[in-house]
Amino acid sequence: MEFKEIIAVTGVSGLKKLIANRNDGLILCELDGTNKKFYSNRQHMFSPLDNISIYTEDDTIPLLDVFIEMKNQVSTTPVVGSNASNDELRAYLGKIVPTFDRERVNVSDIKKLVKWYALLENLDVFKKPVEGEESKTASKSAQIQQHHAPAKDMSVQQQSVAKPRMTKNKV
């Protein structure tokens, strides 16, 4: 499982793993692979964790970087519980990301962050994507696009289409 496959769904507790994509929604399952279910675009909004960021004073920091920093500092700064007081939660995030924007990051966001970290901690998904893998997929897609280009010496013939007959409708 990769970090980009994990999705937060509005109105549904917890995190889900992406199985398939359909035009009118997504097929998701629990993180352990059980309970596959279809979620409609009309009733839910989907947020891949890969697209979520934390506001800082200068810019934003991706959620994956925050999780990696939490994992690296777990020995010196233990993770607080999601039911801790507001001051404790803000102080904890201040130790992890010292430059987080205290006005735009709500306490409810920090609680979600701590809950999600507890869910994902044992799944080994806190890994940065290797740049070599991304470039390999980009080069493969470029090769596929080049392969499907039509030959220059090939001429395309247009077929003539007969016009439909006009008929008078009798009333």
Answering whether pTM is above 0.85, one says: no
* Average model confidence (pLDDT) across the chain: 80
The pLDDT of residue 126: 79
Residue 18: per-residue pLDDT: 93
Return the pLDDT at 66: 92
**pLDDT single digits (tens) 71-103:** 999 889 888 988 999 999 999 999 999 999 999
Output the pLDDT for position 48. 92
The alpha-carbon radius of gyration of the chain (Å, integer) is: 25
pLDDT above 50 (res 153)? no
CB neighbour list of residue 25: distance below 8 Å, 6 or more residues apart = 38, 39, 40, 41, 42, 44
Residue 94 has a CB neighbour count (10 Å cut-off) of: 12
Is pLDDT above 80 for 136? no
What band does 15 get if pLDDT is binned at 50, 70 and 90? very high
Six-digit token pair at 94? 């201040």
